[in-house]
Amino acid sequence: MARKRPRTRRSNSAVLTALSLCLTKHLAPAEGDGSDSNLVFSPASIYATLALLAAGARGGTLQELLDALGGGSRDDLAAFARRVAERALADRSCSSGRGPAVAFACGAWHDAAWAPRPEFRDAAAAAYKAEARAVDFSNEPEKAVNVINGGVAAATNNHIDSILDSSSVNALTNLVVASAIYFKGKWEAPFTKSNTRVDKFHRLDGSFADVPFMRSWRSQLVAVRNGYKVLKLPYKSPAPAPPPYSMCIFLPDERDGLAGLVAKIASGPGFCYYRLPTERVQVGDFRLPKFKLSASGSVMQALRDDMGITSAFVAGEADLSGMAKRDGDEAGTLLHVGDVRHKAVLEVNEEGVAVATSSYMLCGASAVMTDQQKTVDFVADHPFVFFVIEEVSRAILFVGRVLDPSI
């Protein structure tokens, strides 16, 4: 039986924020977490993958996806996906050379024994610029992996060279739905490399690592809040428009304060927006570590427990009959999602940030302002969380935590 829809349906943008906060909860270090457990996700990439799945879902499975993704219909999801693609995922590097380089890929690969439904194929192409292609999972799973990785590499100009490994699929795989995002931006005000110095970064277990810290003495967008500080670093964008992309770093005052700060951020959809700084302040001691993160793993539990997507993952309950059918099986009810896995790589240095992420399938509170000091220190020498935000659409492209920048 289909799950009842909630009385109040949230907008797509609100649900994208909710998905971001759902993932943010998993940034809080759990007891016993290793000191090297850095994490990074792309909510926008995961949302696109789920929305493409919804384009082929029916019945209760479709309703669950609509409830989770904030759409009243598949058309709503498709329209929102197009808006996000036009605003948050648009490549701004070609015309002026000043904006971030963005490459987005989305696709569905089905076993050769299955045939995609024409309506799914058309919707995938129209809303997600995604192609539905046949591969031979049954007889040549390793070759299928190479074909999928090659398609993603081609769509992202080889910035993302792989999305699956040899263990990702097997002869029982019927369908892979995937999305990938590449983002490379330069800071509006780059850091001077000669100012970078090695210093101590304090881990949660009390030990420390020697890592290079970028330093600056120019004014910065910093807000001092109760128990934490927020730094906003804008990326270059075509003039005269204001920078639409920013990296926002939330730094707890206490070295072991990350878990409590993550709980605050995840407490409401408006929290991370209303706490962002709006004015530049003169900084005193300003240090930000260089770091490169690489993380991969399953997000299925988060989607199931926090977003209410359940039937899509259960064989015999999932209804993905609008996506593809197999000869002699017109209902197509054998398709289900085996897993939702995510891969992301992010690097921050003096020039800016380069991000490559991929996904595949088998803060409503009022701001509390404080008086800004004449000089503000911002020393990120202990664990923190960050967001990469497109500020016009308020889409959160990336969210992550840094527990040890030396890893």
**Residues 280, 1: Cα–Cα separation, whole Å:** 54
Nearest to 325 by CA among 132, 140, 145: 132
Amino acid at 283: V
Give the pLDDT score at 12.
Answer: 56
**Residues 289, 201: Cα–Cα separation, whole Å:** 8
Amino acid at 126: A
Q: Where is pLDDT greater, at 378 or 97?
A: 378
Amino acid at 106: C
pLDDT digits (tens, 9 = 90+) for 218-269: 999 999 999 999 999 998 886 666 668 899 999 999 999 999 998 888 877 6
Among the ranges given (109-118, 155-164, 281-290, 333-342), the one the predictor scored with the smallest mean pLDDT: 333-342
What is the mean predicted confidence (pLDDT) over 369-396? 81
* 274 burial type by CB count under 10 A (0-12 exposed, 13-18 middle, 19+ buried): middle
Kindly tell me if the per-residue pLDDT of 208 is higher than 90: yes
What are the phi and psi torsion angles at 17 (to 5°)? Answer: -65, -40
Give the Cβ contact number of residue 194 at 10 Å: 8
Average pLDDT, rounded, for the chain: 81
Confidence of residue 176 (pLDDT cuts 50, 70, 90): confident
What is the mean predicted confidence (pLDDT) over 57-74? 87
Give the pLDDT score at 6.
Answer: 44
pLDDT digits (tens, 9 = 90+) for 309-348: 899 988 888 898 888 887 666 554 578 887 777 777 777 8
Q: Where is pLDDT greater, at 397 or 270?
A: 397
- Cα-Cα-Cα-Cα torsion 143, 362, 116, 146, nearest 10 degrees, comes to -20
Q: Which domains does the chain carry?
A: 12-33+41-185+293-348+355-360 (3.30.497.10), 187-291+363-402 (2.30.39.10)
What are the phi and psi torsion angles at 54 (to 5°)? Answer: -60, -25
Give the pLDDT score at 366.
Answer: 34
What are the phi and psi torsion angles at 7 (to 5°)? Answer: -65, -35
